[in-house]
Amino acid sequence: MSPPNILMTRIDNRLIHGQVGITWTNSLGANLVVVANDEAANDPVQQSLMDMVVSDGVQTRYFTLQKTIDIIHKAAQRQKIFIVCKTPQDVLTLVKGEVPINFVNIGNMHFCEGKKQIHKTVSVDHSDIEAFRQLSQLGIPCEIRRVPDETGENITNLLN
């Protein structure tokens, strides 16, 4: 069986919003957005709000991290998949669960108590930094890029 056709994986604490639902899906040519998030998977209201900002013809699925790990390998090649997670820890969980992620795009990680801002739209704490370091050690580049036409910046340059 061929591996699932994962075009990109994005970390965005807002999950799907206009930038993700339209700009990124169109730019990638994705036809399926998989939100891998335990809370969103069990929140129909949040799901319907997110469905409203996705381009026509693009399907959405809301899976827990474990369900994503369990079924991603059953995806058909015609499914051009864009995975959206809330945190680097979630991405690391997927990678350790053998979801074939080979690149991570970082959109928004909002500032809150205990985090330090390292980029306009990205704030991290020790746990985030550790997750990014592990992803980097696994050979998975993690790049901050809010929109497709922006130049990306490798997060490892900002963590030191």
Domain of residue 44, CATH code: 3.40.35.10
Whether the per-residue pLDDT at 6 is higher than 80: the answer is yes
All residues at 6 or more sequence positions from 7 whose CB lies less than 8 Å from its CB, including other chains:
28, 29, 30, 80, 81, 82
Say what angle helices 126-137 and 88-96 make with each other, to 10 degrees: 40
Q: Is residue 149 part of a domain?
A: yes
Residue 76, pLDDT score:
94
| Residue 29 located in a structural domain | yes
Residue 36 domain flag: yes
Instruction: Establish whether 17 is a catalytic residue.
Output: yes
The overall average pLDDT reported for the chain is 95
Structure tokens at 60: 């959405």
Per DSSP bridges, beta strands 153-154 and 59-63 are unpaired
Res. 21: pLDDT tops 90: no
Q: Residue for token digits 């690391």?
A: 92
Strand ranges, E, within 6-158: 6-11, 32-36, 59-63, 81-85, 104-106, 116-119, 122-124, 142-144, 153-154
Catalytic residue among 17, 73, 110, 119: 17
Tens digit of each residue's pLDDT (9 = 90 or more) over 104-147: 999 999 999 999 999 999 999 999 999 999 999 999 999 999 99
- Does residue 1 belong to any structural domain of this protein? no
Provide the domain count of the chain.
Answer: 1
Q: Is residue 91 part of a domain?
A: yes
Domain that holds residue 78: 6-157
* pTM beyond 0.85, yes or no: yes
